[in-house]
Copies of this chain bind each other. A is one copy, B any other.
Amino acid sequence: MARASTTSDVFNALADVRRREILDALISGEKAVGAIVDDLSMSQPQVSKHLRVLSEVGLVRCRAEGRHRMYRLEPTRLRPLQEWLTKYEVALHDRLDRMDDYLRELQRQGEGR
């Protein structure tokens, strides 16, 4: 089997630099496809395709305005990523705490002598 489908989850959708660039371009607010094309100097079909992927995982939402399509971020969908990261922050802090305890114990023993 090859790599898991890019549309399956947020992690895969974010694996591509271009898609991250598109998201970055949308931080400042809603934008039409053409505006993104101009900002990033990518081809229009490429932008549309990446937007489709981002849509499918819910990271962006689309709104029709005349013949333009305005895309905007849906940052709430980054929550799985945040939660995943949190586990590691906790692990890291726990480890630092243990290290801290250890150092304190060493110091206590040193004082005792």
One complex includes copies of this chain to the number of: 2
Q: Is the CB of A11 within 8 A of B4?
A: no
Q: Is A101 part of the binding interface, using a Cβ–Cβ cutoff of 8 Å?
A: no
| Residue of B15, B17, B81, B87 touching A24 (CB-CB under 8 A) | B87
Binds B, one of A36-44, A62-70, A88-96, A103-111: A88-96
B-contacting residues, A1-57, CB 8 Å: 3-4, 9, 11-12, 14-17, 20, 23-24, 27
Bound: A2/B76 CA distance, A: 29
Give the B-binding residues of A (Cβ under 8 A): 3-4, 9, 11-12, 14-17, 20, 23-24, 27, 73, 75-76, 78, 81-82, 84-85, 87-89, 91-92
